[in-house]
A = this chain, B = another copy of it.
Amino acid sequence: MLGGRILYGGDYNPDQWLEHPEVLEQDVRLMKESKVNCVSLGIFAWAALEPEEGVYQMDWLDRLITRMEEEDIQIILATPSAAMPHWLTQRYPEVMQVQADGRRNLPGKRHNFCYTSPVMREKTKAIDRELSRRFGRRKNVILWHISNELGGNFADSVCHCEYCQAAFRKWLKKKYGTLQNLNQAWWNYFWSHNYTDWEQIHSPVPNGETTSTALLLDWRRFSTEQIHDFYQMEVQAVREYSELPATTNFMYFFKGLDYNRMKHGVDVISWDNYPFWHKRKDEVPSAVKAAANHNIMRALKRQPFLLMESTPSAVSWREYNPLKRPGMNMLAGMQAIAHGSDSVLYFQWRKGRGGYEKFHGAVLDHKNGTNTRVFREVTELGERLAGLGEKIQGTVNRPKAAILFDWENWWAVEDTQGPRLDIKYVKTILSHYRAFWEQGIEADLIGMDEPLDDYLLVSAPMNYLYKDGYADRVRAFVESGGVFVTTCFSGMVNETDLCFTEQHPLEDVLGVIQEEIDAPSEEFENSFHYDGKTYPAKFLCEISHAKEDTEVLASYEEDFYAGYPAVTCHPFGKGSAFYLAAGSDQEFLRVFYRDVFRKAGVENALRAKLPYGVTTAERIADDGTRIVFVMNFKNEPVIVEDIGIWTDAETQEQYEDALQMKPFECLVLTKQKTDGN
């Protein structure tokens, strides 16, 4: 557990207040008051740390770190590459990104640097080394925070400059060896697209190539590689005088970077979580989305992670920004811990007086000092986490189920042409995960390269692209007893978006033969009958043929494909494979997965049926101690029944059979081995 305790605090920008020493002193005092024990420093402070090229001015930071040390506040120290100072962009315009329209950015905003530019790398390395030299061995500095939200640049994440074009070509040469290989892999004889000279290759841009899906895919892969390379360069630089671990803060379902690739070289996964609470009275969709993303982050290394940013109140960038209702800050913070976070960190400690984020929620507002609801609620959570640290020390969630969530698949399935153009991969994944969450079943959200052995159940919705070796891993998984679920429009293409011919790579496992895919209009929506009820069949309706030993669980009821299978289950080896030929709705997925869970033998921590809005998550210690979090996302009291006997890990209160929960409450339970569960 990094820092030896649950880290509590967040982004702190003293560089905005250097001319107000009384503010800085007040900050320290109020951090203590609110139980803050950790701050992230220097994230956008390049201009304050290096006001002129090569002239470092770090004494203010030194004094601050010392002051924090006196108060036992730990520090996550950032490298400042996320926001370039004006002297840099003025003297070296090459450090700024070139957008897809071929125009180089002008100075401004943030995150908009070219990660290939030699000058950018040189200047970044220089200040990183200086930070490392000055602060890399300070006792209360515990982690390097490399740059900020890499790829999040107000545009399409990437740079199209000549340096990047050259690097892209070099990367392709290394990958494919010859142009012939590349032309074949990309199916370039289509529309006379085959290249005869490496120099002909250019990143996909609106007034150039946008129709070559394999190019799109490799360009996205390259962008991840290149940004990862920049990250690694920075890690190397800060390691010059320091042995601290490094992280970089990931984002909320961020399509621009493949975090399964980015994670290499990241010692501790961390991310920024901004769910849209209170969009609807029903908070479940937001809770599900946040939970899914926590699980992605945890599954990247199957280890605890850090919640690096969250708002203690409202954000400022949505069309409208509701205040977090009382209790939601506590619940959302506990949700992070429940799903594997070892921290609750906020953006931001104090609202700035000016600039783009002056109205973004903060622990301290412009007015009223500590006499605010927000400050009181932040303090309350600080106190709770202080007591909880020891209990979760060394624990991590160990789900028996996994859902495949893979960036390459995301990219490929949304870039392809047909059968529909409005496929939303994340939405699909969330609709499946929601069925898990509602039944309290934990799941890792994992990429296609991950081992499947630890799971009883793996679900792979809309798994359009199959990486090399993936089908074999799934086959082995099912053969040895696993339960596998997948859907139509899966197993369509290989890694370069070439369609499989002959047969589906898992046809033997799935027991179905695909023929056609209908994308019906609203008036042509179909239906099927499952477990006594009729459900809609829509969005994508595959017409396929069940093999002899395949159990048809539901069939289409209308149109020319009435009678064709909509839902099947096929025994294979010691396991089974479910197949959803028909797209359907949330209600069906709930019922369907209930049966899948039963077949796979997975159940929730309480072994209880959970009321709507309640879910569970469980962190397990190496010695088997179970810490179970029960969360009520309804702003009303609920009762969870038939739970057996549990002890409240915080109050030691004993619960028998039923659990009375308050609105937005999170209870932390534990069980002695002798409790017999």
Residues of A that sit less than 8 Å from B by CB: 13, 15-16, 18-19, 44-48, 51-52, 80, 83-87, 89-90, 99, 101-110, 184, 186-197, 199-200, 202, 204-205, 207-214, 278-281, 313-323, 325-326, 351-360, 365-368, 372-374, 416-422, 493, 496-504, 513-521, 523-524, 543, 559-560
Contacts and interface: CB of A to CB of B under 8 A. Distances in A.
A86 B516 contact: no
Given A197-B87, A322-B524, A359 B317 contact: no
A211 B104 CA distance: 18
Which of A90, A416, A418, A559 has the most C-beta atoms of chain B within 10 angstroms of its own C-beta?
A: A418
B211 A320 contact: no
A19 B417 CA distance: 25
Nearest to A186: B354
Contacts of A518: 314, 322-323
A419 B367 contact: no
A317 B471 CA distance: 29
A122 to B, nearest CB: 18
Contacts of A521: 278-280, 320, 322
Contact of A195 (B86, B189, B356, B422): B86
A281 B523 contact: yes
Contact of A356 (B51, B212, B517): B212
A202 B322 CA distance: 34
Given A102-B106, A280-B523, 14 more contacts: A15-B189, A80-B192, A106-B207, A107-B209, A108-B202, A108-B204, A188-B355, A190-B356, A191-B355, A316-B419, A319-B421, A320-B520, A359-B419, A374-B516
Given A321-B519, A322-B519, A559-B325, A501 B353 contact: yes
26 contacts: A13-B189, A18-B189, A45-B192, A84-B192, A86-B192, A86-B195, A89-B200, A104-B207, A110-B211, A187-B352, A187-B358, A213-B355, A214-B354, A279-B521, A281-B523, A281-B524, A317-B421, A319-B421, A321-B519, A322-B520, A325-B560, A353-B498, A354-B493, A354-B498, A360-B417, A366-B499
A447 to B, nearest CB: 23
The secondary structure that dominates the A interface is: loop
Given A373-B516, A516-B365, A499 B358 contact: yes
A83 B281 CA distance: 54
Contacts of A493: 354
A209 B560 CA distance: 53
A505 to B, nearest CB: 11
Most B CB contacts (10 A, CB to CB) among A90, A189, A499, A518 go to A189
Nearest to A108: B209
B499 A419 contact: no
Given A51-B196, A200-B90, A354-B498, A372 B516 contact: yes
A320 B489 CA distance: 14
Given A322-B519, A326-B560, A367-B503, A355 B86 contact: no
A355 B215 CA distance: 10
Contacts of A196: 51-52, 85-87
A200 B86 contact: yes
Given A16-B187, A101-B103, A499-B366, A318 B421 contact: yes
